[in-house]
Structure 1
Amino acid sequence: MGTTMNARDAISASMAECYVTIDGQRKHLINIINLEANVEKTKSELPILGRTGKGNKSTGWKGTGSATMYYNTSLFREMLYKYKETGTDVYFDIQCTNEDPTSSVGRQTVILKDCNLDGGILAKFDADAEYLDEDFDFTFDDFEIPEKFTALSGMEE
C-alpha cells in the first residue's frame, strides 16, 4: 500500500483568524463565521488550424468572495452609508490565516487586497431565530500568499 495522509493533517475548519484593514485601521473579525474567496480565470477559445477542437488560453482573472458573520457590528453598513452619502467607495483588505496546531503543515495566510462590497444588509430581525447573522459578497483586485502550508509528508517523491 502506498503512502497516505495522516488524519491529523486535515485542517480544522474553525482554526483560523481573520482581520480586515479599512482606511489603515486593522480590526480582528472575531464575529465572522465563514469566508470563502475564489479566483475565476477568464479564458478565450482559440480555433487552431488542423484541430477539430478549440484551444483555451487564459486571458485574466476575477476575484470574488462571500462571508457570513454574526449580525453584531455596523462596520460594513458604515461603508455602504459612506458610499451613499459621499459617492466615495470604500476598499479594504482581508487577511485570513489557517493554522491547526495538530497538523504538520503549519500555517497559511492569504491577503485579499482592494476588496469591495457588492452590497449588504441594512436592518434585520427574526423573532423566531436563535441568533442573527448576515451574508456579504465582495470582489477583490489582488491577493498575496505570504505564508504557505508545508507540503505533506509523502506528497514529494
Structure 2
Amino acid sequence: MSNITMNAWDAISATKAECYITIENERYNFMQALKLEAKIEKVKSEIPILGRTMKGNKTVGMKGTGSATFHYNTSIFRDILYKYQQSGKDLYFDIQVTNEDPTSSVGRQTIILKDCNLNGGIITKFDATGEYLEDEFEFTFESWEMPERFGKVAGMQ
C-alpha cells in the first residue's frame, strides 16, 4: 500500500478563474460571474444482445449543457433574448474559462465552450428584502476545446 497523498495546495481554489464571453466578435470579461458549470452527457442507445440478460450500451453522440449565475448588472444576455424576439435571429456565443491557482503545482486549464445558446433567462427582477440581485441562465453548447490542460499532481505516476 502506497503512502503518497495529494498536497493540500494542489487543490484548485474555486475563485481563481477567468471567464470571457464572445458574442458577435465582441469579447467581454465576464467578471460579474459567480459560478458557471458546463457538462457533457454521452447519449447512449440500449443494445439488446442475444444470449445476455443485460443489454449493452453504445454511445451514439454527446450533448453539452451548462448554467451560469452572476451579478444582476449586465444586459448582454437579455439583449440576446430581445434580439431573438424582435428578429427571429438566434445568437450563438463562446465562453472561455481558465482555472489557474498560483499555489498549485498543476498549472492552468482552459476550456472554450463553442456555439453556446441560451435556453432562456431572467428579464427583470427585484427583491425588497435582499442585499443584492443575482441573475442566471442555462444554455447548451455544440462543441468544446481544451487548449490548456492541468499537469499531473505529484505522486499520480
Distance 2:71 2:154 in 1: 37
Distance 2:124 2:146 in 1: 35
Runs of 4+ in 1 over 4 A off after TM superposition: none
Name the SS for the 2:78 alignment partner.
helix
Pairing 1:30-45 to 2, within 5 Å after superposition: 30-45=31-46
- Residue 59 in 1 paired to residue 54 in 2? no
**CA RMSD of superposed structures (Å):** 0.7
Q: Deviations over 1:66-119 (max 9, x none)?
A: 010000000100000000000000100000000000000000000000000000
* Cα drift, residue 51 of structure 1: 1.5
Q: What residue identity is the alignment partner of 2:94? A: D
Q: Deviations over 1:8-63 (max 9, x none)?
A: 00000000000000001111001000000000001011111222111111000100
Q: Deviations over 1:107-134 (max 9, x none)?
A: 0000000000000111111110000001
Pairing 1:107-122 to 2, within 5 Å after superposition: 107-122=108-123
Distance 1:153 1:54 in 2: 40
Structure 1: runs of 5 or more not aligned: none
Distance 2:150 2:49 in 1: 39
- How many percent identity over aligned positions? 63
Name the SS for the 2:120 alignment partner.
coil
- Residue 72 in 1 paired to residue 40 in 2? no
- Count residues in correspondence: 156
Name the SS for the 1:82 alignment partner.
helix
Q: What is aligned with 2:126? A: 125
Name the SS for the 1:119 alignment partner.
coil
> Please, what TM-score do these two structures have when normalized by structure 2?
0.98
* Cα drift, residue 3 of structure 1: 1.0
Name the SS for the 1:13 alignment partner.
coil
Q: What is aligned with 2:101? A: 100
